[in-house]
Structure 1
Amino acid sequence: GAQPYHLGRVTVVFNGEIYNHRELRERLTGLGFHFEDQCDGSILPALYLTYGDRFAEHLDGMYSVAVMDLRSTPRMVLATDDSGMKPLYYHWEQATGRFHFASELPALLGFAGVRAEEDEAGLDAYLTSKTPFGDRTMFRGVQVMPPAATAVLSHRDGLRVKQRPMAHERGLRPDKDRTLDEAGDQLRALLFEEVSRLLVADAPVAAVTSGGLDSSLVTALAAEALRAGGGLGSLHTFNIAYTGTWPSDERAYAAEVARAAGTRHHQVEIDPATFPDLMTDVVRHLGQPNADPITLSTFSLFRAVRDAGFKVALTGDAADELFSGYSRMTQAVAAHHGSDWIDDYLDHLAAVPRSLRESLYTDEYAFSVNAVGSSLPADIRRILHSSPGTRLQRIGAVEQRYRLPAYHLRRVDHLSMASSVEVRLPFCQPSVVRFASTLTDAQRLVPGQGVKRALYRSARGLIPRSVLERPKQPFTLPVTAMLAPGQGLWTLARDVLSPRTLRADGRIRPERVEALFDEQATRPSDTVSLALWSLMSHQLWRQEFFATAGATAGAPLTLHTPARVLQEAAA
């Protein structure tokens, strides 16, 4: 639309998609407002004038919104969606009253008033949870709005950030009278409704099909919805794989799902030899390190989606967090009473396990980390230890409030928008999130019997049994196999993590990293490969965003930012 949107002395800009804008436009028209177009964002000024700071409670969509209200005392109101699908980064100087915000870190750092300074403790936060959780980033003084948050900024009161209850926190209780079959049927009908809504767009819509349950179910429902609606042509689906023979190749399963759903399938293949060059692009678009190797595949996949002519793509992201699909959840639930299950669970979230992490740090850095305290938000341990609900419900609350937005959704958003592809996430729709909160623990997972039980039940008869009955595997890059002598990633890692570079950084022991390389070369493992990958990604981030990776952590450094992003920020 024609942003910024103006209505009197109220001005709004936003990023994302408002799915219920037609219903809201009709309601607001009935209240006397007039709209010149059908753009989803054009209803936002009227919505704010009607409901004030609580306007976001009426939105169904993925968004970050900024409202400037100059009717009397100047004030700004910002809001993020319930799941944190659309990020909003900001820099607030209370002493000077200067406030900057943007939807991506490179754009925010492009402002002259925002200095790029590395948070020295950020390395520990990154290695502890694969990317910083909560409102922190890897840059000192730069924060990110939490999901379901509304912030109000004024000269008198400064900046006040308040979190609204997320969809799963709104008092819904598990329905113990509903059978697993009934839960599966209701979930299938609900997902069909939401997928059908998300297919409505001004540009062609495709689907990403990894070959696992979540994306396969979204694919099958989307194909069914298009047929039921008499849509022209068939659904286009995309899968990514790697040149050569590698473990965990899912292309055959994705192709089988596509055949069963009757889609036009696109098999994207990337050469691992290109990964070293890709990593620089990925680090730049993410703005800060994310330890999941799938970032390379995600970036390449959405570039292929764009090149095929698609601007919108449906994915199966967030199902594991909502419906309890991770092995760490099963292990935590199965742990006997009195065990240290909380520390074990938190260690599963880490890029580098605690014991290995502590052995990597120099004495000086270990001292500074201990002085700062835990790199995780303090609320996480409180939720896991003493908040209401079962152990599985408490884990789900942590996953949805902290891990999902920070580690998962921001990665998907930045790497899809790098190619101007809008990713739509049926599992993040508020109705689906609310429904998930009404499932009993036994309808989510039972140790020894399976995970995501209600979701699997909803997919019966819709996707091939070979997909439903195969062992669960993560959709990720086979980094353990690829980070080996003779491979491009190995050469890059050896160069980026050279003893000279690590000594200049001063936080990681070069001799311990050399020992990791020796171990990976002789006895490759997921733990060691992910540790090396994570350290390499961190150093590449420093090289990309600061003048030199060897500069002192926390010192003012020169930012390397593409001119295009700087121009967008200035605009």
Structure 2
Amino acid sequence: MSVHPEERAMCRIYGYFNARPSRNEVRAVAALQRHGGPDSTGSTHAPGWGVGNNRLAIVDLDGGAQPYELDDRIAVVFNGEIYNHDELRELLRARGYAFADRCDGGIIPALYDAYGEGFTDLLDGMYAIAVLDRRDVPTLLLVTDPAGMKPLYYRWDPAERSLYFSSEIPALLGFQAVGTDLWQEGLDAYLATKTPFGEQTMFGDVKVLPPATTLRCELDGQPRLRIRRLSECPPVTSLDTAARLVRDRLTAEVGRLLVADVPVAVVTSGGLDSSLVTALAARHRPVHSFNVAYRGSWPFDERGYAERVARSAGTVHHQVELDPAAFPSMIEDVVWHLGQPNADPITLSTYGLFAAVHDAGFKVALTGDAADEVFGGYSRMRAAVAGGSRADWLPRYLDELAVLPAARRYALYADEYQAFVRHRSPIPPEALDLLHTGAQTVLGRILAFEQRYRLPAYHLRRVDHLSMASAVEVRLPFCQPGVLSLGRALGDDLRIRGDAVKRALYGAARGLLPDEVLSRPKQPFTLPVTAMLRPGEPLWEYGRDVLAGSRLAAGGRLDPVAVDALFTAQSRRPRDETAVTIWALLVYEVWLDQFQRDRRTAGVAAVTT
């Protein structure tokens, strides 16, 4: 095994195919996502096509220039990390390929040349890749990793047979051919799942490439999407064996995710998942840990647990404290970087946390995201398993995903919009089919659904966009292919039994974490929005302004009277559901203001004509 440091860089990528945007448009696209790759830029283009990137240098800070090219025939731009690039480079050298450096992405043109579209089967890492093949019929490939850790958005123009793509939605909108018209069902889909699931975004013209997907488009052809098969492990049925395998796999993954030529930190919420990542990282080398909390006295403060984990692991601990008075101004930045609404209030905390990580001098951070989706950690999963023999588990489960259940959503809508969405599913049909008719157990279907649809849409894009907003690369041990395949190999009883969740993961953590962390009740990592949305608080006053009746009436989708009643109810008897609903509508209205060029033409009149 090579002992040389690995050469990696996170980036933002963009491009166009069978299109002729102006040079100023292309510059604008690059500039709009430079925050995620401030260290250098690179591009290559010819009449009808172009690809480019913004680089965040992590290892080999002076090398790794993109695009990567092979004999002027194949050009590649790449966002992510390929962890097995040393092995792949030796494999390719044996086939006669030569390499100028050891940058991980530099192997991709040769790998594609040697293996064609099947090159993805050899990759281990997180990535969004664009391959421009100029041999024979010019062809563009867009590729995403198995978990969807690195987002890739695109717009296909069927009339012009043109394709545009980018790592971020605001950058994609820099191409003038990409419109900002609303996806008309978007508001209901957003409130039903807290952010749209599947390929459709809140913009009618903009799609997002699903996880483990290859898009192929030939010149003058049209895109064809292929979902790639995921790797599998042999079934695991023993809890002791599962705990040992999970610990060993996570130990190895965390170790290699710590490799960088820049400082690496860990995020520690004080819950099981991030605490285990912190403990394992500290076993490999000294690390700095970060926890986020809020100035003042608020419910669900986890800083005490995070400090206990930091002391136990021996990290240098940083306590980030955000000022709620700054939240109204932060919301606009958060919504802009996300590019579409996300109803989880933790978006503010995520944005503020990674800004502090960057300000402390760190360009890389490990987090505990995705453990619940891999190992079965949510109460809604436990409830579905308990009621799996009854026909009503699915409606109850879907209600748990929503900002509020369907009947109460419809009560918020203006009459025309309510009539428009009432008989339309807010969840993609193929996603519902997976829940309804999958061949697995109820829990197996739920985990497959959440990993393919909810995890990338609701969690991973939030983490990616809001960390890269501050030029911080997030590495996700629980999303690595080896961990995902091991999670799928576990029997239901090793995930959930009775009231116990994530049994294999708790088994892996025993002896590594303090008992009070292992025995504490599960607490969502979120902003205490119910306490913060009350009269006199900054968020309350901001929300009243943004959700004013005159503004809502102009949009035509929401009933101003029904929304005003939410504020009245919350002022009299604060409830979590009411607070999250106000928050979700507030975020939606901020998004509309930022991204709709003409709110009136996007109103409900357009829906009903």
TM-score, with structure 2 as normaliser = 0.87
Counterparts of 1:352 and 1:338 in 2: how far apart (Å)? 22
CA contact (8 A) 2:388 2:442 kept: no
SS of 1:187's equivalent in the other structure is helix
CA contact (8 A) 1:117 1:555 kept: no
Greater mean alpha carbon deviation, residues 346-355 or residues 240-249: 346-355
SS of 2:579's equivalent in the other structure is helix
Counterparts of 1:187 and 1:357 in 2: how far apart (Å)? 41
SS of 2:132's equivalent in the other structure is strand
Counterparts of 1:158 and 1:541 in 2: how far apart (Å)? 31
Q: Does 1:248 align with 2:300?
A: yes
Counterparts of 1:553 and 1:398 in 2: how far apart (Å)? 32
Corresponding residue number in structure 1 for 2:13 = none
Counterparts of 1:554 and 1:117 in 2: how far apart (Å)? 12
SS of 2:351's equivalent in the other structure is helix
Corresponding residue number in structure 2 for 1:509 = 559
Q: Does 1:268 align with 2:332?
A: no
151, 164, 174: which one aligns with 2:235: 174
Counterparts of 1:105 and 1:336 in 2: how far apart (Å)? 38
Corresponding residue number in structure 2 for 1:322 = 374
Q: Does 1:429 align with 2:480?
A: yes
Q: Does 1:300 align with 2:322?
A: no
128, 134, 140: which one aligns with 2:204: 140
Q: In the TM superposition, what is the alpha-carbon distance from 1:461 to its structure 2 partner?
A: 0.8
Q: In the TM superposition, what is the alpha-carbon distance from 1:166 to its structure 2 partner?
A: 3.1
581, 585, 603: which one aligns with 1:535: 585
SS of 1:437's equivalent in the other structure is helix
Amino acid at match of 1:327: S
Corresponding residue number in structure 2 for 1:160 = 224
Which digits, 9 at most, give the CA deviation of each residue in 1:432-478, with x for residues without a partner? 11111111111101123x11011011101101001000100000000
Corresponding residue number in structure 2 for 1:5 = 68
TM-score, with structure 1 as normaliser = 0.93
Change (3 A) 1:549 1:96: closer
Amino acid at match of 1:435: L
127, 149, 168: which one aligns with 1:104: 168
Corresponding residue number in structure 1 for 2:276 = 217
Which digits, 9 at most, give the CA deviation of each residue in 1:80-122, with x for residues without a partner? 0000000000000111111100000000001122121111211
Q: Does 1:468 align with 2:518?
A: yes
Counterparts of 1:35 and 1:356 in 2: how far apart (Å)? 60
Greater mean alpha carbon deviation, residues 332-341 or residues 303-312: 332-341
Q: For 1:382-531, list aligned pairs within 5 A.
A: 382-448=433-499, 450-531=500-581
Corresponding residue number in structure 1 for 2:262 = 203
Amino acid at match of 1:535: L
Counterparts of 2:597 and 2:545 in 1: how far apart (Å)? 18
Amino acid at match of 1:343: P
CA contact (8 A) 1:443 1:454 kept: yes
Counterparts of 2:336 and 2:528 in 1: how far apart (Å)? 22
Corresponding residue number in structure 2 for 1:48 = 112
Q: In the TM superposition, what is the alpha-carbon distance from 1:181 to its structure 2 partner?
A: 2.0
SS of 1:158's equivalent in the other structure is coil
Which digits, 9 at most, give the CA deviation of each residue in 1:118-143, with x for residues without a partner? 11211111111111100000001110
Amino acid at match of 1:490: W
SS of 1:360's equivalent in the other structure is coil
Corresponding residue number in structure 2 for 1:22 = 86
CA contact (8 A) 2:290 2:357 kept: yes
Amino acid at match of 1:497: L
Counterparts of 1:389 and 1:49 in 2: how far apart (Å)? 38
Corresponding residue number in structure 2 for 1:82 = 146
Counterparts of 1:199 and 1:12 in 2: how far apart (Å)? 26
Corresponding residue number in structure 1 for 2:39 = none
Which digits, 9 at most, give the CA deviation of each residue in 1:353-399, with x for residues without a partner? 2121011111100121135x202111222212221111100100100
SS of 2:291's equivalent in the other structure is strand
Amino acid at match of 2:130: A
Structure 2 unaligned residues grouped into runs of 5+ = 1-63
CA contact (8 A) 1:542 1:548 kept: no
Give the % identical residues.
57
Structure 1 unaligned residues grouped into runs of 5+ = 227-233, 557-571
Q: Does 1:188 align with 2:247?
A: yes
SS of 1:399's equivalent in the other structure is helix
Q: Report how many aligned residue pairs link the two structures.
A: 542
CA contact (8 A) 1:318 1:404 kept: yes
CA contact (8 A) 2:596 2:602 kept: no
Cα RMSD (Å) of the superposition? 1.4
Counterparts of 1:150 and 1:210 in 2: how far apart (Å)? 35
CA contact (8 A) 1:214 1:319 kept: yes
SS of 1:6's equivalent in the other structure is strand
Amino acid at match of 1:211: G
Which digits, 9 at most, give the CA deviation of each residue in 1:32-85, with x for residues without a partner? 111111111111100100110111111111110001111111111110000000
Which digits, 9 at most, give the CA deviation of each residue in 1:284-322, with x for residues without a partner? 000000000000000000011111111110000000000
Counterparts of 1:331 and 1:128 in 2: how far apart (Å)? 19
Greater mean alpha carbon deviation, residues 453-462 or residues 544-553: 544-553
Corresponding residue number in structure 1 for 2:34 = none
Q: In the TM superposition, what is the alpha-carbon distance from 1:552 to its structure 2 partner?
A: 2.9
